[in-house]
Amino acid sequence: MNHLKRTEAVILDWAGTTVDFGSFAPTQIFVEAFKTAFNFDISIAEARVPMGLGKWQHIEALGKLPTVSQRWQEQFGREMDSDDINSIYQTFMPLQIAKVVEFAEPIQGVQEVIGWLRNNDIKIGSCSGYPRAVMESLIPAASVQGYHPDYTVATDDLPVGGRPGPWMALQNVIGLGVHHVAHCIKVDDSVPGITEGLNAGMWTIGLSVSGNEFGVTYSNYLTMSDDEVSERRKPAEDKLRAAGAHYVIDTLAQLPKVVEEINRRLKLGERP
């Protein structure tokens, strides 16, 4: 049967992968949420460190960063606890729901790649560190601008949780009716997203330029010299490779050639 010989589905992350070049929507809101809830300052760089986790878990991880933890204890005389995380999360949610629609434009090349995938009968799944309430704003906003995957799982859709566990990726397998997990490709710009794909038994592709690790806007990226791009790409690529990514490319625009390479390997009987 044909599905035994080729890629059946590609499961895509959202921010930094298909929309929101540089993954700015969540990072800016984390900074705002900490400031609004507790008049506490975190940097954009700190906000980026746990990217890819569910947003409650992201806030929890931020509180455990040595720099943040030290400042928190200096300001409040204690460690951050679950009540603090809940307060920041409750502040974060309405801010993120309002903001995410401003970052719904597909990244350059995404629409062409989606068309290529559909022409090759490859199903298009997706999952995100965003909770469902945020996705309910993002999905229609992205759809209006031309991007709509076949299936989407949000980080709070499943009782077992989100990344780095395999569950959102595997729910896509079920929702899309995929026959073989080993014929799926997980594409993500974050380490937890790569780990998610590996834990699910999928091929994984990291994105080193469009996402959180590279961390610049598309307009800024266009003004960078080749040397500047290379200098910024290398640590992002190294981090994704160290996480176990089978391939690392700059942006989703380069996906078709990797799918063809994975198809060649599948025909030889190789598995992730």
Q: Which residues carry out catalysis?
A: 13, 55
Cβ-contact 5, 267 below 8 angstroms:
yes
Task: Report d(CA 50, CA 57) in Å as an integer.
Answer: 9
Q: What is the dihedral of CA 250, 187, 66, 57, to 10 degrees?
A: 150
Q: Which amino acid is at 198?
A: L
The set of residues, in sequence order, having a beta carbon less than 8 Å from that of 49 and lying 6+ positions away, is 61, 62, 65
Long-range contacts of 67-72 (CB under 8 A, 24+ apart): 68/42, 71/40, 71/41, 72/40
3 state DSSP class of 206: strand
Identify the residue whose tokens are 């729910």. Answer: 171
Asked if residues 26 and 62 have their Cβ atoms less than 8 Å apart, the reply is: no
Helix axis angle for 82-100 and 132-144, nearest 10°, is 10
The C-alpha atoms of residue 11 and residue 186 are separated, in whole angstroms, by 5
Cα–Cα separations (whole angstroms), residue 153 to 166, 184, 231, 234: 12, 16, 34, 30
For helices 82-100 and 55-64, the axis angle rounded to 10 degrees is 130
Q: What's the distance, Cα to Cα, between the start and end of the chain in Å?
A: 20
**Partner residues linked to 152 by β-bridges:** 126
